[in-house]
């Protein structure tokens, strides 16, 4: 492509300007701030900015103070055909006319321009067909810089470091990103740190989730416990009442029995007291004199009694002996039988005279006589009679003594108001019986009652007992309908125990639940942790995606770089050698490019071998670089021949180096267009056209 004229309107400092250019070397010269860079940018804008673009660069390019109207117009030739391009950025319109055709669609215009230039973007154009003022600086220092610059140009993006450096940068970024993810690292990368942080948070989240779930369970359980406890307590209350009533009923039953027993005792006591009182009255009325006599004549009576009993004993003894004696005496009928026997004998004998048969009578008399004499017959009867008489005499004495005693006693009895001793005895017996009865009563009262002698208290106590018993009875009747039988009571007691155990258990569980619920804020912390985790998760996903993207980009870049080099290197060697040979008069015609770093060497016929760039003179190195650089433009852009834009690249060169460099540029510019933007006049001698810009 060849630009023949560029016209600007309201483009930065140019309100209206037009510049004519031609094939070959064009030098745009002017001092600082004269608009060189603006013109360079205008060329790029004409070629690459879309007229409908809203990018800031477009907005910022409008001349200051002008509301719009920014326009760039280009006239020239492409593929031998004239074209006319107008881009009105303010109106966002464009028009490209060529070969009788007209295109107004900004996108299609760009497609056409790309077709003519071989490059579609400003960055790619600058990287290939643009040489910045700093690009050749330091080239002469050595081969490394030269290789790097070429890599950058081959990279295809302006200012880029080339594929090799780009890959290094990406590898470093990837390594930084992944450091510590496949093993331990002292300084882990973003991803490892994020994962560590996530792991820690996930652990915390799990802890909190368990705690929160536990709290929810505790809350639910607490409610259940409350309900169950309430039910159990209600049931327990019912049971307690039932048991209490049953036990009360049983107690009442026992108490009532006791009360009745005690009441009976009281009644008995009262009866006894009454009896005693009666007896006391009787004692006073009937036995007062006797009691006095008995008290006064106690000793005498005792003596008399002793004498009487002794007399009685002796009398008894004598009676016994009398009985014995009487028993010892022959039968009383013996004398009578003897007399009868003897009578019969005599009568018989007498009768014998009368009749022999009277002998029988005589014999019968003999028999009776014998019977009276045998055994204990009449003889013993006779001796016994003596003893009996003695005993009877002694008995009579005793009777007399007894009579004496009796008389004495009768005297006492008479004092006691008794007509006879029998009366006295009867009276005394009665008195003694009464006294014995009263003692018995006293003893019994003492045994059965506290208030043995206090009738009033006893009566009051009895009343109380009666009242108590009545009360209890009423209560018993009340309870009777709502109490349990013993078996039921046992069951109720067992149930009560079970309920108490259950309530104890529930109480303990309630405490456990309350302890679980005591830690506040766990729900909120869980949410915060989950939110932080979500955020970290997003970050991790971004980092992982970035790592994957870097790996993929590295792979693509390596393959792209390899393919690119494979297609470029042989042509680069050939074309660079050709250029170099032409400008060095054939001194250096063979160039070798090595490896990915594009390091170069040249064949030196003088030395008969490869010469590294470091061994060449500065001028030759400049020429070698420019030859390679321009070759790259040709290789990259093919037959398209875009205008070459040089932004004062040789400003630091001395005249000798400049001369050598410009020789090459002149050679390159044959059939092409090179536009050099510069401040000085040192390119003028090489220029086919000089555009002079006035100072601002």
Residues 117-176 that bind other proteins (CB under 8 A): 118-124, 127-128, 154-163, 166-167, 169-170
CB atoms within 10 A of CB 520: 9
CA distance 382 to 550: 174
Residue 570 in the binding site for other proteins (CB under 8 A) = no
Residue 638 in the binding site for other proteins (CB under 8 A) = yes
Give, as ranges, the residues between 269 and 328 that touch other proteins (CB under 8 A).
none
Choice between 125 and 263, CB closer to other proteins: 125
Q: Which stretch binds other proteins (CB under 8 A): 11-19, 110-118, 295-303, 498-506?
A: 110-118
CA distance 176 to 627: 39
Reference 2, options 99, 81, 73; nearest CA is 81
Residue 567 in the binding site for other proteins (CB under 8 A) = yes
Nearest approach in angstroms of CB 167 to other proteins is 8
Residue 511 in the binding site for other proteins (CB under 8 A) = no
Choice between 511 and 527, CB closer to other proteins: 527
Q: Which x/- pattern over 208-237 shows residues binding other proteins (rule: CB under 8 A)?
A: -------xx--xxxxxx--x----------
Q: Which stretch binds other proteins (CB under 8 A): 83-91, 310-318, 498-506, 520-528?
A: 520-528
Residue 663 in the binding site for other proteins (CB under 8 A) = no
CA pseudo-torsion sign 11, 15, 18, 24? negative
Using alpha carbons, list the distances in angstroms from residue 692 to 192, 251, 307, 569. 60, 135, 194, 39
- What is the number of residues in the chain? 696
Residue 524 in the binding site for other proteins (CB under 8 A) = yes
Residue 532 in the binding site for other proteins (CB under 8 A) = yes
Nearest approach in angstroms of CB 227 to other proteins is 8
CA distance 219 to 403: 114
Give, as ranges, the residues between 44 and 103 that touch other proteins (CB under 8 A).
53-59
Residues in Cβ contact with 389 at an 8 Å cutoff, skipping those fewer than 6 apart: none
Give, as ranges, the residues between 317 and 356 that touch other proteins (CB under 8 A).
none
Choice between 49 and 677, CB closer to other proteins: 49
Choice between 113 and 408, CB closer to other proteins: 113
Give, as ranges, the residues between 542 and 561 that touch other proteins (CB under 8 A).
542, 545-546, 548-553, 556-557, 559-561
Ramachandran quadrant class, 689 (left: phi over 0; alpha: psi -120 to 50; beta: rest)? beta
Torsion angle defined by CA atoms of residues 669, 671, 672 and 673, in that order, rounded to the nearest 10 degrees: 80
Residue 114 in the binding site for other proteins (CB under 8 A) = yes
CB 337 within 8 A of CB 372: yes
Residue 416 in the binding site for other proteins (CB under 8 A) = no
What is residue 6's three-state secondary structure? Answer: strand
Reference 631, options 563, 582, 677, 686; nearest CA is 582
Residue 674 in the binding site for other proteins (CB under 8 A) = no
Q: Which stretch binds other proteins (CB under 8 A): 300-308, 339-347, 485-493, 516-524?
A: 516-524
Long-range CB contact pairs, 75-79, < 8 A, 24+:
75/3, 75/4, 75/5, 75/6, 75/7, 76/1, 76/2, 76/3, 76/4, 76/5, 77/1, 77/2, 77/4, 78/1, 78/2, 78/116, 79/116
Nearest approach in angstroms of CB 159 to other proteins is 5
Nearest approach in angstroms of CB 116 to other proteins is 12
Choice between 56 and 607, CB closer to other proteins: 56
Residue 509 in the binding site for other proteins (CB under 8 A) = no
CB 301 within 8 A of CB 294: yes
What is residue 12's three-state secondary structure? Answer: coil
Nearest approach in angstroms of CB 262 to other proteins is 56
Residue 200 in the binding site for other proteins (CB under 8 A) = no
Choice between 497 and 538, CB closer to other proteins: 538
Name beta bridge partners: 131.
646
């Amino acid at each position: 492509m060849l630009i023949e004229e560029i016209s600007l309107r309201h483009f930065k400092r140019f309100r209206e300007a037009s510049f004519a250019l031609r094939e070959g070397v064009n030098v745009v010269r002017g001092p600082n701030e004269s608009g060189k860079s603006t013109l360079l940018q205008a060329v790029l804008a004409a070629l690459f900015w879309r007229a409908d673009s809203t990018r800031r660069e477009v907005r910022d390019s409008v001349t200051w103070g002008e509301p719009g109207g920014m326009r760039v117009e280009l006239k020239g030739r492409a593929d031998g055909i004239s074209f006319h391009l107008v881009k009105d950025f303010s109106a966002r319109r464009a028009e490209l006319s060529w070969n009788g055709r007209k295109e107004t669609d900004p996108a299609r215009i760009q497609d056409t321009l790309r077709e003519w230039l071989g490059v579609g973007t400003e960055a790619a154009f600058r990287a290939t067909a643009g040489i910045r003022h700093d690009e050749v600086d330091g080239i002469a220092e050595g081969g490394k810089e030269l290789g790097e610059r070429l890599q950058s140009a081959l990279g295809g993006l302006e200012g880029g470091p080339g594929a090799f450096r780009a890959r290094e940068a990406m590898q470093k970024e990837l390594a930084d990103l992944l450091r510590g993810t496949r093993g331990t690292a002292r300084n882990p990368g973003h991803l490892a740190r994020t994962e560590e942080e996530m792991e820690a948070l996930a652990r915390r989240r799990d802890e909190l989730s368990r705690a929160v779930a536990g709290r929810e369970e505790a809350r639910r359980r607490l409610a259940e416990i409350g309900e169950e406890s309430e039910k159990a307590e209600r049931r327990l209350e019912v049971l307690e009442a039932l048991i209490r009533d049953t036990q009360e009923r049983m107690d009442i039953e026992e108490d009532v029995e006791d009360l009745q027993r005690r009441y009976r005792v009281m009644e008995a006591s009262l009866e006894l007291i009454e009896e005693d009182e009666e007896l006391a009255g009787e004692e006073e009325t009937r036995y007062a004199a006797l009691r006095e006599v008995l008290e006064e004549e106690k000793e005498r009576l005792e003596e008399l009694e002793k004498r009487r009993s002794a007399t009685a004993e002796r009398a008894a003894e004598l009676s016994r002996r009398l009985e014995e004696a009487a028993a010892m005496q022959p039968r009383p009928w013996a004398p009578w039988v003897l007399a009868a026997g003897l009578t019969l004998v005599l009568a018989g004998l007498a009768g014998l005279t009368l009749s022999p048969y009277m002998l029988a009578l005589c014999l019968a008399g003999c028999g009776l006589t014998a019977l009276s004499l045998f055994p204990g017959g009449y003889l013993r009867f006779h001796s016994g009679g003596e003893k009996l008489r003695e005993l009877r005499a002694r008995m009579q004495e005793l009777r007399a003594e007894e009579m004496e005693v009796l008389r004495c006693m009768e005297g006492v009895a008479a004092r006691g108001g008794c007509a006879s001793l029998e009366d006295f005895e009867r009276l005394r017996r009665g008195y003694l019986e009464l006294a014995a009865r009263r003692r018995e009563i006293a003893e019994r009262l003492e045994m059965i009652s506290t208030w043995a002698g206090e009738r009033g208290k006893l009566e009051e106590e009895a009343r109380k007992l009666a009242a108590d018993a009545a009360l209890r009875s009423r209560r018993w009747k009340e309870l009777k309908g709502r109490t349990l039988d013993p078996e039921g009571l046992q069951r109720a007691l067992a149930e009560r125990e079970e309920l108490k155990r259950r309530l104890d258990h529930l109480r303990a569980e309630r405490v456990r639940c309350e302890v679980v619920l005591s830690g506040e804020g766990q729900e909120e912390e869980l949410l915060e942790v989950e939110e932080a985790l979500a955020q970290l998760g997003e970050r991790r996903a971004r980092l992982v995606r970035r790592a994957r993207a870097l790996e993929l980009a590295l792979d693509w870049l390596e393959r792209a770089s390899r393919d690119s080099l494979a297609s470029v290197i042989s042509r680069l060697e050939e074309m660079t050698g050709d250029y170099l040979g032409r400008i060095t008069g054939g001194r250096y015609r063979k160039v070798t490019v090595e490896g990915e770093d594009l390091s170069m060497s040249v064949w030196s016929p003088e030395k008969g071998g490869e010469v590294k760039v470091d061994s060449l003179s500065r001028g030759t190195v400049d020429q070698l670089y420019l030859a390679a650089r321009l070759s790259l433009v040709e290789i990259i852009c093919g037959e398209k021949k875009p205008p070459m834009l040089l932004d004062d690249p040789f400003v630091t060169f001395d005249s000798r180096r400049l001369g050598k460099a410009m020789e090459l540029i002149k050679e390159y510019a044959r059939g092409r267009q090179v536009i050099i933007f510069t401040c000085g006049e040192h390119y003028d001698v090489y220029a086919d056209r000089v555009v002079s810009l006035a100072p601002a």
